[in-house]
Structures are given as C-alpha cells and as structure tokens.
Amino acid sequence: MPGLKIQQRIKYQEDLDPDFPDQVAAMPGAADLNRCIQCGTCSATCPISIYMDMTPRQVVAMTRAGFKKEVLQSNTIWLCASCYSCTAECPKKIKITDIMYALKRLAIQEGVYPKRLPTPVLAREFFRKVRSTGRSNEGQIATAMILKTNPFKLLKQIPLGLKLLLRGRMSLFTEKMSGDRHQLQELLDSMDKPTDTAKQQATA
Ligand code: SF4
Ligand code: SF4
C-alpha cells in the first residue's frame, strides 16, 4: 500500500554487533557479564524496573546477544538509580550496577543516548566542565542541560536562578583549580579506556 511504513521488529544476525559483549565485558566491573543465568532476580529487586523499557535482566541478555543499538538507546541505563540492590542480590555476584555505568559510558562515547533525556546530557555536561576547568559549576551545567533538553524550561527557572545567585548558593564564575589541570585531563581520559586487567578478565 503506498505510504504504508512497516517497522521491522524481527532482528536478524546481521543487525547484531558480535563485538559488543566483549567491548562491555572489557570495561571496569563488567567482566562477569557472561556468568548470568537469566534468573531475573535483578529485575525483581530493582525499584525502577517498572519504568524501564528493558529490565536489568533483559539488558544483560541483550548485551550478551550483541544488541548494541537497542541497549545503548534504551532509557534503562539512564533511569538506573545506582541503588546496588540488583548487585547485592545477584546469585552469580554480577556487578549489574557497574554494567549500567559501563553502558552509560559507551552510550556517551558513541553519542547514541536519548538526546532529550536530562540524565545523560547532565552527565556529559558535568564531565565536560570538570575536564576543561577541573571544577564543577552547578549554574553553568544546569543551564547547558536545560538548553539542550528543554530550552523553554529555562524561562521558568530564571526566578529560582536569581534567588540562588543573590543568596550566594550559585555562582556565574568557575573557581580555578589548584594543581595540574592537564594531569586531571589525562586521568579522566584514561578512564574511558578499558584497563588491561578488565581486558584480560573479559577474554579469560
Ligand atoms: S540476578 Fe544476576 S544471574 Fe540473575 S538475571 Fe540478573 S544478572 Fe543474571
Ligand atoms: S542499581 Fe539500577 S538496575 Fe540495579 S536495582 Fe538499582 S536502580 Fe535497578
């Protein structure tokens, strides 16, 4: 029928990324990914799972199967509140919270996070600010986040921003860090690369 668009729901082998499981497993804390027995305890214990588009158990299964695009674009990794409940209860001692962090880092590195979701934008802006100046600045970071997610909200936030400025709770200026900023940048950049230990654990 002309104009009818059929959305492909079935995934084929060629849609998968076979390197994705190893890529994730090589990141800090994610090496035990392949020990998952799909018991679902993590999903049952997660207080946020009802709001997620994939449960934690599904995230682990989809990652192991190579569904890179689907996993990195899911809202699950950004809704995760890092409460560690899943990690504490997992019978295979898999660090699911760390896997969520690994997936967040990959999503940001590859620029495939949901663009209007405040959490990844906030994380990215925070990282940028700290990397470039060595300091955080709540006002600048919040402004950048609102402009990139919902610019109309900025107007509503102006009275609150002014109050915070007048009471000295927020500043327009960023303090200078003492110490070597380039060393900090090298340290932060190195965190984006898988460690040798994590690579060895992933291939073991
Ligand atoms: S609780 Fe652990 S073993 Fe069970 S599904 Fe979740 S990650 Fe897999
Ligand atoms: S750490 Fe994240 S995924 Fe695990 S139970 Fe808490 S909110 Fe759910």
Write the residue with the smallest CA distance to atom 7 of ligand 1: 36
CATH superfamily of 15-113: Alpha-helical ferredoxin (1.10.1060.10)
Write the residue with the smallest CA distance to atom 6 of ligand 2: 83
Confidence band of 82 (pLDDT split at 50, 70, 90)? very high
**pLDDT: which is higher, 65 or 8:** 65
By the 10 Å C-beta count (0-12 exposed, 13-18 middle, 19+ buried), 65 is classed as middle
Tell me, in angstroms, the distance from the centre of ligand 1 to residue 192's CA: 26
Contact 47, 83 (CB under 8 A): yes
Taking only the tens place, the pLDDT of each residue in 152-196 is 888 888 888 889 889 888 888 888 888 788 888 888 887 766 545
Atom of ligand 1 nearest to the CA of 39: 4
Domain boundaries, the chain: 15-113, 118-172+184-188
